[in-house]
Amino acid sequence: MTIELRLTDVDPPTAEPARTIYRDIQALPDPAILGITVRYFNYDDSGLYMQITGSATGYTFTPVNLGLLASGANAYQNLDAFASRAKPTVAQLPNGEMSENITLTLKAYTDASYTTLKWTFNRSVTVIWLNSADAAFTVDMLDNFDDGLLHDWTVEWMQGTPTGGYPILAVVSDYVLSAPYSARMYGRAGVAGDWEACRIKKSVTTPAKTECYAIFDIRLTKDTWWFAKNLQVRKDAVTQIFLGRAQDNTDTDYVPVNKWIRAIIPLTPSTTFLLDLYYAGRAIGISSGGTFDLWLDDFKIISKS
């Protein structure tokens, strides 16, 4: 194997775990846009110019030139709006769900104009579509914060040097999916140059069903003195979804900001978990900035037998 594409942080030579992407059609725009973070490897003796694309029935993929990757190196890349397809209809999701497969293709070229192809690597990914409003599902928990309460969500500073009084978690009305309120985590760096991270968290217990899912609707933002590196959806401190790249010293955002992101993870039934949303980045100034926010709205746990 001379190049490789992975969707997890599991290092070779350990086999890549099977990867499934879960999506919910409720309140999803049409066409539905797919964003994903990939990790790609170059085992060739020479540096190669990497490109990623994909294929699947009904999908449109936008090929992305990833640039030069040195011999022996690997890198992460968040692919925002990488693919789109018409949103499935309710009729296409009997019993509330439907499964399909997409193929991600990593290509390696010897030249910067991407004309001389040297290697190709394919990875198949399962996509499971859900209809959380289907009668087959029970909504076991819905935190839309519209009663003005936080419903046991709390905030915690995880990395860096916080300014006194931060982070703050509050019910707000500035960005919402279901009016009038959402929850917002507001963080502010205490030291310029710090790597910063905050999380919001909640303990949940799943019902005794066959299938259970947690659905998060998340929005991130930041000012010009703070760079967004990654967003992680975690279960008992184990990362389930990773968007972006590892923290570094570049003045670059690696995770989408100023837009709503939906993330879904499966949960084991009849179990208690600590779920959290972990938002990490780097501050370059604090006199007038270094601020970052995370909104959560319409958090659900759904299940079915």
How many percent of the chain have pLDDT more than 70? Answer: 99
Per-residue pLDDT averaged across 204-232, rounded? 96
Distance (Å, whole) CA 219 – CA 240? 18
Distance (Å, whole) CA 99 – CA 96? 11
Place of tokens 């579509």: 129
Asked whether residue 18 carries a pLDDT value surpassing 90, the answer given is no
Question: Which value, in Å, is the radius of gyration of the alpha carbons in the chain?
Answer: 20
Output the pLDDT for position 165.
Answer: 87
List the chain domain ranges: 3-130, 138-304
Output the pLDDT for position 285.
Answer: 76
Output the pLDDT for position 164.
Answer: 82
What is the per-residue pLDDT across 232-276, written as a single tens digit (0 to 9) for each?
A: 999 999 999 999 998 888 999 999 999 999 999 999 999 999 999
Which has the minimum average pLDDT: 42-56, 216-230, 232-246, 287-301?
A: 287-301
Question: 293: closest CA among 172, 190, 124?
Answer: 172
Average pLDDT, the chain: 95
Per-residue pLDDT averaged across 144-153, rounded? 98
Asked whether residue 209 carries a pLDDT value surpassing 70, the answer given is yes
Output the pLDDT for position 231.
Answer: 97
Output the pLDDT for position 288.
Answer: 62
Beta strand ranges found along 62-179 (DSSP E): 64-69, 74-85, 97-109, 117-130, 138-143, 154-159, 168-172
Output the pLDDT for position 194.
Answer: 83
Check if 3-130 and 138-304 are the same fold.
no
Specify whether domain 3-130 bears CATH 2.60.40.10. Answer: yes
What is the per-residue pLDDT across 63-95, written as a single tens digit (0 to 9) for each?
A: 999 999 999 999 999 999 999 999 999 999 999
Homologous superfamily of 138-304: Galactose-binding domain-like (2.60.120.260)
What is the per-residue pLDDT across 95-130, written as a single tens digit (0 to 9) for each?
A: 999 999 999 999 999 999 999 999 999 999 999 999
